[in-house]
Chain A
């Protein structure tokens, strides 16, 4: 046992002083120079005692604990088993962190699989159920482990008070061996039982090979070095630039085409429609259809359905439609640029319009028609069909004189038109009205016709037309 190298007498008065001011460590360690000039008084943060073995440090910690010290910390190059009991330390709550992380990961994984694949974007895979437990498990399992590990790792760092680059213990030179081959006990000055001289004795008695005082470090000194702070600020400001730019791009509009860093498949070495090509004799990239063939879905045998004209009737020539007659080209002729069929109808004779819907008309179809009508027709014809759509109003306001006001759908002649003719108007247009065959599929055209018929009915119908069971609830209908 090493004795304290000094012969000083420690009185019990010094014991409970909270603000301990003692002579500089050197003057205590070298009492042989009694005439030394008075050193400036230094406040110390505590004492650091060095030991050579794990057993010594455990024994010493035991002694200090029995002497009533509570603010002790042992530093060692490797984990010492049993020290926690001596120091009366509690088990860290890391397992709970792990469990919490695991549960969140598992639940989160399952939730992702369910919400993403079954709710937000239902993904049908070989007719399997949208969500089932087993195939969702691997991801949930991995996430459970990952989050539990994050919790443990983060918990260790946070509870261990790390990262802590500045620590006043590092100011004691001998402390460098704490991570090598020496063991240390640090007694905090704030400890109830602390008395600098007395504690020092106790530590030497307990087998320490050297006791040094822990300096109190000025707050300013332990701050991060200025270059670090500056770099951190500059970097974080720079790091903000990309997200800000992205946010700006997302929430503003621009007339220039979007930036594309990687052109992906935008540019492909292939021939595009309407371009020339030296491979073929006719110099065209687009190839004509082989004579006598019909493309899939283009065989429109059901005349009533596709053209609104009864099949038996031969009088169809003047209805512009998909024309495959000469087998060289397949182009749908926009009616606008051709002789308006209705205009010349007197000359060529009226086609034999179908008068009954070639599709089944039910509420669903009419509703669909309403929706399509409001998309495609209402802009010109107005929601109510009076020829007062927004585009029309605007055009009239501009007073350019070129705008033909759309016919009111409630006009007598239009009301009398057979469904086939209405259909034809939608598909091929009429006089100044363009055809909508390119935008509106056949079935939807009929849906619109059914809706137009319904719309017309709203102006002429009387209570008698309404079925008696519906009549009482009419107002409530939507």
Chain B
């Protein structure tokens, strides 16, 4: 049904008597397959896709060239130097990991809460998660300096007869991020199996038949497979939920377990998790709005989906704002002069510009979501969400750099300046992210067809099956 071109139906109105439909327009099993699968089957991608892909893939090439340069030359090509030994690479790492939280959250937590509206956006968000975690993983890996020893991070028997230190948060981080990436990928792939089978069964060319045939593992949609699928999905959701919370908790331990004033606080785990969800949802909206526009998915990803996500952004944004306030309160209330200095220095010191950018983007900008008109205007959302992600990057910058640049020893204070390589690598990581994302949009089912089908309103009364 080509309802997407018709005036958008507003399903954001709240009438307590009627459940607003999850999708708009007239959808049937076949129309959903047709609509979603067709996107992955176009012989030629749309022009916008080609252009963005050309840009993002060049940036990816640049990223890998810079990584090569870094490996050959050494980490001195970055601005990291005493006292700020953790510069942009770690900021970027935390930034990307944070973004990678929305996908699993949407898939797992909303699934456990039986929020059926998630079915239209979960595939998209999960893909985003995996690509963001990929970008995140690159930074600490190259940050270790001698990349060829990256396997030292793992507890592998080696000729030094040494093992990693299990009391170090950095080691926990390795485990957390690897586990998260692996579980998210499994979750994503398992959820995609039925849809890959759909693409296989519709494939016309031999290459596509073989490729999707291998990828779909011979899925036939038998009730036995569905039975396993549903249970596995539930279990993976139940496993991924504590996992997603633990990952950013552990990332925050990287900071909180140290002694540096401004890092050494117990509020970090919840504060980081809220921030991660905040930035992740902002990223989903930023990507979703243009995607639903370009790919004609407005009937599946409705305004109500966007509005719901805006509400989550607003809620988590306020949690983040609350955390900022609490940090200051505890600095004063705790009576630790080093901590007090660290926070006064954050707000008024040489990095005040970064601090206030962060506050205005993360705390003030989302307040606009109190207005329904903003929550239902796609371009406004995108603007706010881009600001949110700018703010979240600055949050990590503020935490990492202000604390390190002025710690206990005034004689070693310094001011951090990034190098061109720092900046280009960060830009390049966006290139990688978008490259992967565009490939996903081109070749994989962008919407979880099978899941959407299962929440389609039944055609008639006798369609619903008594359980």
Task: Give A residues with C-beta under 8 Å from B.
Answer: 53-55, 58, 73-85, 87, 89, 91-92, 94-95, 98, 112-113, 116-117, 120-121, 123, 125, 128, 135-136, 138-139, 141-143, 145-146, 148-150, 152-153, 155-157, 159-167, 169-170, 175-181, 186, 261-262, 264
Q: A125-B167, A167-B220, A181-B33 are in contact. Are A77 and B465 (CB under 8 A)?
A: no
Tell me the complex Cα distance, A112–B167, Å: 12
Q: Are B182 and A77 in contact (CB under 8 A)?
A: no
Q: Which residue on A lies nearest to B162, using beta carbons?
A: A121
Instruction: Select B236's contact among A141, A149, A264, beta carbons within 8 Å.
Output: A149
Q: Is the CB of A145 within 8 A of B242?
A: yes
Q: Are B218 and A76 in contact (CB under 8 A)?
A: no
B166 x A117 contact (CB < 8 A): yes
B202 contacts partner chain A, Cβ-Cβ < 8 Å: yes
A74 pairs with B228, CB closer than 8 A = no
B30 contacts across to A, CB distance below 8 A: 180-181
Contacts of B381 in A (CB 8 A): none
With contacts A75-B220, A117-B165, A180-B202 taken as known, whether A149 is within 8 angstroms of B146 at the C-beta atoms is: no
Are A79 and B454 in contact (CB-based, < 8 A)? yes
Complex Cα distance A87/B225, Å? Answer: 13
10 shortest interchain CB distances as A-B pairs: A116-B163, A164-B218, A181-B29, A113-B166, A163-B217, A138-B172, A181-B30, A78-B454, A156-B232, A78-B453
- CB pair B163 A121 closer than 8 Å: yes
* B430-452 contact mask (Cβ, 8 Å, vs A): 1 or 0: 00000000000000000001110
Chain B residues within 8 Å of A92, by CB: 227-228, 231
Q: Which B residues from 137 to 185 make CB contacts under 8 A with A? A: 146, 148, 155, 161-169, 171-172, 175-176, 178-179, 182-183
Contacts of A98 in B (CB 8 A): 235, 239
Q: Report the Cα distance A73→B223, complex, angstroms.
A: 7
In the complex, identify which listed stretch (B3-11, B190-198, B365-373) lies at the interface while the others stay far away.
B190-198
A160 and B225 form a contact (CB under 8 A): yes
Residue of B nearest to A81 (CB): B467
B227 and A146 within 8 A (CB): no
- Most A CB contacts (10 A, CB to CB) among B246, B454, B464 go to B454
* B residues with CB within 8 A of A: 28-30, 33, 146, 148, 155, 161-169, 171-172, 175-176, 178-179, 182-183, 186-187, 190, 194, 197-198, 200-202, 213-214, 217-232, 235-236, 239-240, 242-243, 246, 250, 253, 449-451, 453-454, 458-459, 462-467
With A54-B465, A58-B465, A73-B224 already in contact, 12 other A-B pairs whose C-beta atoms are closer than 8 Å:
A74-B222, A74-B223, A80-B223, A89-B223, A123-B165, A138-B250, A162-B218, A164-B217, A175-B201, A176-B201, A178-B201, A180-B33
A116-B163, A262-B148 as given contacts; A141 in contact with B246, CB under 8 Å: yes
24 contacts between A and B (CB under 8 A): A78-B453, A80-B223, A81-B467, A83-B465, A84-B227, A89-B223, A95-B235, A116-B164, A128-B167, A136-B166, A138-B246, A142-B175, A145-B179, A145-B242, A149-B187, A149-B240, A153-B186, A159-B224, A160-B224, A167-B218, A179-B201, A179-B220, A181-B28, A181-B29
A152 partner residues in chain B, CB cutoff 8 A: 232, 235-236, 239
The reply to whether A55 and B463 contact each other, CB–CB distance below 8 Å, is yes
Q: How far is the CA of A176 from the CA of B414 in the complex (A)?
A: 66
Complexed CA–CA distance, A138 and B247 (Å): 10
CA distance A322 to B121 in the complex (A): 79
Residues of A within 8 A of B243 (CB): 142, 145
Cβ contacts under 8 Å, A77 to chain B: 29, 33, 194, 198, 221, 449-450, 453
* CB of B322 to closest CB in A, whole Å: 26
A156: which B residues are within 8 A, CB to CB? 190, 228-229, 231-232
Cβ–Cβ contact A73 & B171, under 8 A: no
A54, A84, A176, most chain B CB atoms within 10 A? A54
Determine if B250 and A79 form an interchain contact, defined as CB atoms under 8 angstroms apart: no
**Which of chain A's residues has its CB closest to B454's CB?**
A78
B172 and A139 form a contact (CB under 8 A): yes
- Bound-state Cα–Cα, A91 to B29, Å: 27
CB neighbours of A123 from chain B (8 A): 163, 165
Q: Interface of chain A, helix or strand or loop or mixed?
A: helix
Bound complex: CA A78 to CA B28 (Å)? 13
CA distance A157 to B229 in the complex (A): 9
Whether A94 and B165, one on each chain, are in contact in the complex, defined by CB atoms closer than 8 angstroms, is no
Provide the residues of chain B in CB contact with A136, threshold 8 Å. Answer: 166-167
**Smallest beta-carbon distance B134→chain A, Å:** 18
Residues of A within 8 A of B220 (CB): 75, 167, 169-170, 175, 178-179
Q: Are A84 and B223 in contact (CB under 8 A)?
A: yes
- Report the minimum CB–CB distance from B103 to chain A (whole Å): 15
A89 to B242 alpha-carbon distance, docked (Å) = 30
What is the chain B residue whose CB lies nearest that of A55? B463
Among residues of B, the one whose C-beta sits closest to the C-beta of A120 is: B163
**A170 CA to B217 CA in the complex, in Å?**
13
Closest B residue to A186 by CB, please name it. Answer: B222
| Distance in Å: Cβ of B22 to nearest Cβ of chain A | 14
Min CB distance A180 to B, Å, is: 5
B239 touches A180 (CB 8 A): no
In the bound complex, what is the Cα–Cα distance between A113 and B462 (angstroms)? 58
> Is A145 within 8 A of B163, CB to CB?
no
A116 B218 Cβ-Cβ under 8 A: no
Known contacts: A123-B165, A141-B246, A264-B146. The answer to whether A79 contacts B229 by CB under 8 A is yes
- Tell me the bound Cα distance from A148 to B218 in angstroms: 24
- Which residues of chain B have C-beta atoms less than 8 A from A141's C-beta? 242, 246
- Whether B161 contacts A166 by the Cβ 8 Å rule is no
Cα A119 to Cα B464 with chains together (Å): 61
Known A-B contacts A73-B223, A156-B229; A165 and B201 likewise in contact (beta carbons under 8 Å): no
Q: Assess the B198–A180 pair: CB atoms within 8 A.
A: yes
Known: A53-B463, A120-B163, A128-B167. A145 touches B227 (CB 8 A): no
* Residue in A closest to B452 when the chains form the complex, CB atoms: A78
Minimal beta-carbon separation of A413 from chain B (angstroms)? 47
Chain A residues within an 8 Å CB radius of B459: 53
* Residues of the B chain whose Cβ atoms lie less than 8 Å from the Cβ of A148: 235, 239
Residue of B nearest to A180 (CB): B33
Which residues from A are CB-within-8-Å of B168?
A: 125
In the bound complex, residues from chain A placing their C-beta under 8 Å from that of B162 are 121
Chain B minimum-CB-distance residue to A72: B223
Pick from A78, A139, A155, A163: contact of B232, CB below 8 A: A155
> Hey, which chain B residues are within 8 Å of A135, CB to CB?
166-167
Do B167 and A162 have beta carbons less than 8 Å apart?
no
Which of chain B's residues have a CB closer than 8 A to the CB of A157?
217
Known contacts A180-B33, A181-B29, A146 near B467 by CB under 8 Å: no
CA distance A78 to B155 in the complex (A): 42
If A55-B465, A76-B223 touch, whether A153 touches B167 (CB-CB below 8 Å) is no
Contact B29 A138, beta carbon cutoff 8 Å: no
Q: In the complex, how many angstroms separate the beta carbon of B31 from the nearest chain A beta carbon?
A: 9
